[in-house]
Amino acid sequence: MNITTEQIFTEARSQNGFLDAPVPDAMLRSLYDLMKWGPTSVNCQPARVVFVRSEAEKARLVECVSPANQPKVRSAPVTAIIGMDMAFHEQLPRLVPHVDARSWFAGNAPMIEATAFRNSSMQAAYLIIAARALGLDCGPMSGFDADQVDAQFWPGTQVRTNVLCTLGKGDPSKVHPRLPRLAFDEVCRLA
């Protein structure tokens, strides 16, 4: 596989519409198998993913997103709902067996919340990078009712929705002109 920085970053675009081309289950499994290797603090891996593909499930999800995002979800072959497991620390004895990391989180709701949000956000970014490396286009979005998504897709669990990301082959006619980015000196400081 010859993956370029252009494919992942400089030429890749956020998608607003998708071509009618399915994303095979094997590709979604490959996507996760790449995503899972991205580092998280104390190997906590709090992200949980629902890959919404069927028309019935898309219809449920469309009801949870803003009007501007509804056509994106409808046209995408897949929308990934990336959630954060608020009980991620229960997996730590298996994920980091050399230290009692579970005890650092048990009963500490603010630390659980901050760690789950920060690390599942990083894992969502890894999902985007993995998808682009596999030749998929992405449309990350935050215009949705998280409580409604939780009720529809994570009922009876301790998982809460963090971000959505449409996946598939992007429709070039739906891409907006490239928007500017901030320069190094506007964002970075060498200390």
CA distance 98 to 155: 33
- Identify the CATH number of the domain in which residue 139 sits: 3.40.109.10
* pTM for this predicted structure: 0.95
Q: Is residue 185 part of a domain?
A: no
Domain tally for the chain?
1
Q: Is residue 61 part of a domain?
A: yes
Strand intervals (E) in 53-180: 78-85, 137-141, 159-168
CB-CB neighbours of 48 under 10 Å: 21
For residue 62, the 8-state DSSP code is H
Residue 145: give the domain boundaries.
17-168
Q: pLDDT truncated to tens, each residue of the chain (191 aa)?
A: 678 899 999 899 999 999 999 999 999 999 999 999 999 999 999 999 999 999 999 999 999 999 999 999 999 999 999 999 999 999 999 999 999 999 999 999 999 999 999 999 999 999 999 999 999 999 999 999 999 999 999 999 999 999 999 999 999 999 999 999 999 999 999 99
pLDDT of residue 2: 77
pLDDT of residue 138: 98
CA distance 65 to 145: 6
pLDDT of residue 89: 98
Q: Is residue 69 part of a domain?
A: yes
Q: Is residue 4 part of a domain?
A: no
**Which residues lie closer than 8 Å to 102 by C-beta, 6 or more apart?**
89, 90, 92, 93
Q: Is residue 84 part of a domain?
A: yes
**Which residues lie closer than 8 Å to 154 by C-beta, 6 or more apart?**
48, 50, 83, 160, 161
Q: Is residue 174 part of a domain?
A: no
Please say whether the beta carbons of 62 and 73 come within 8 A.
yes
Q: Is residue 91 part of a domain?
A: yes
Q: Is residue 183 part of a domain?
A: no
pLDDT of residue 4: 86
pLDDT of residue 75: 96
